[in-house]
Amino acid sequence: MIASPLIRALDRGALVFLAIVAGAAVIVPALNLLLPVSSPFHVPTYLVALFGKYVCYALLALSIDLIWGYCGILSLGHGAFFALGGYAMGMYLMRQIGTRGVYAHPVLPDFMVFLNWPELPVFWYGFQHFPYALLMVILAPGLLAFVFGWFAFRSRVTGVYLSIITQAMTFALMLGFFRNNFGFGGNNGLTDFKDILGFNVQAQGTRAALFAMSCAALALGFIICRALVTSKFGKVLVAIRDAESRTRFLGYRVESYKLFVFTLSACMAGVAGALYVPQVGIINPGEFAPGNSIEAVIWVAVGGRGTLVGAALGAVVVNYAKTVFTSGPLAPYWLFMLGALFILVTLLLPKGIIGTFNAWWEQRKATQVSANAVSADREDGVGEPNPAE
């Protein structure tokens, strides 16, 4: 009963995407761990971490495409859920440092000792346990999204107004996390991580394992999204996107559908943030910056809104371009280039890379089917008579 919807959801394109992700999860760590450094096919450890960051961004873009591409909810604050998941993982990693910190305090993180905190705050309790941290990775962004969505959707806030409110939410969180008395490291954030599950977070094998876990999370998130959008539930989401008032008049509880998918999307973003932190080695309030959320929306637009695969592709393509252009003389102009890219995609490729390709492919198939039908009619002698005869 459960396998049948999954089989229907995984078409040829979805299977190709999953095969690529699975191949990357195996090949990249293998090339990093099994081949000597002198080999031309060896993948350096820093590239493994960089690829892992791209995969986390792809999962974040997938979560945005779920709500924007299929339900019409344009969130300009999804970076907040990404950062909350990252902070939950960062708190666990900080609790693992113990006496190996600069001040060698067995309980308090270094920044708390520096700021003369007398004891560990209550909201830090339990983060020394990995299962509790995993729970908070999902619960913290999910709870925020549920509370925010409950008030926003019940008040029927939609369109640009909802986008502005989500942007204000992440900006308010950024200001709060910048404060030293907030208990999250202030401007410097959380860093200097040592271990994760007893393994050195900087070790080559750990980096490879984190990359493989990120790929697995991306594949699982993609399967969940595909199963959702290809079901009857997904058809209602598309109806809400295209004609919300008409869907409500048909008797559907639009607010409940939007609240569920918004909360699920936030949980996915939190998981992406949690996998991101140990690979980059830091989490600070800059991750809450509204510009990061806007940039993530651009990834989805470039790849193709409402395609899922396109969202992941857009995240990888844009961030690869960012890596290339921000390390040379064009670095000061990257934001201008990003804005120009968004404008060009909007004008020339409004459906994004994958959306445009899908439209071209469908048109090509339709033309081919029409040509085959005409050819078959002529062979059967049922074509149009030749006037010359």
Start-end of H helices in 98-188: 110-114, 130-154, 159-178
The CA distance from 165 to 173, in Å, is: 12
Closest CA to 260 of 218, 231, 299, 300: 231
Token output for 190: 């959380």
Q: Interior CA angle at 346 toward 345 and 347, to 5°? A: 90
pLDDT per residue rounded down to tens, the chain (389 residues): 455 566 666 778 889 999 999 999 999 999 999 999 999 999 999 999 999 999 999 999 999 999 999 999 999 999 999 999 999 999 999 999 989 988 989 999 999 999 899 999 999 999 999 999 999 999 999 999 999 999 999 999 988 999 999 999 999 999 999 998 899 999 999 999 999 998 999 999 999 999 999 999 999 999 999 999 999 999 999 999 999 999 999 999 999 999 999 999 999 999 999 999 999 999 999 999 999 999 999 999 999 999 999 999 999 999 998 888 887 777 788 888 888 888 888 788 888 888 888 888 788 877 887 777 777 767 666 555 555 54
Which DSSP string do the residues of 292-335 spell out, in sequence order?
HHHHHHHHHHHH-TT-SHHHHHHHHHHHHHHHHHTTSTTGGGHH
The CA distance from 41 to 237, in Å, is: 45
Q: Give per-residue pLDDT as tens, 61-81.
A: 999 999 999 999 999 999 999
- Residues 218, 55 contacting (CB under 8 angstroms): yes
pTM recorded for the entire structure = 0.92
Closest CA to 205 of 67, 13, 379, 32: 32
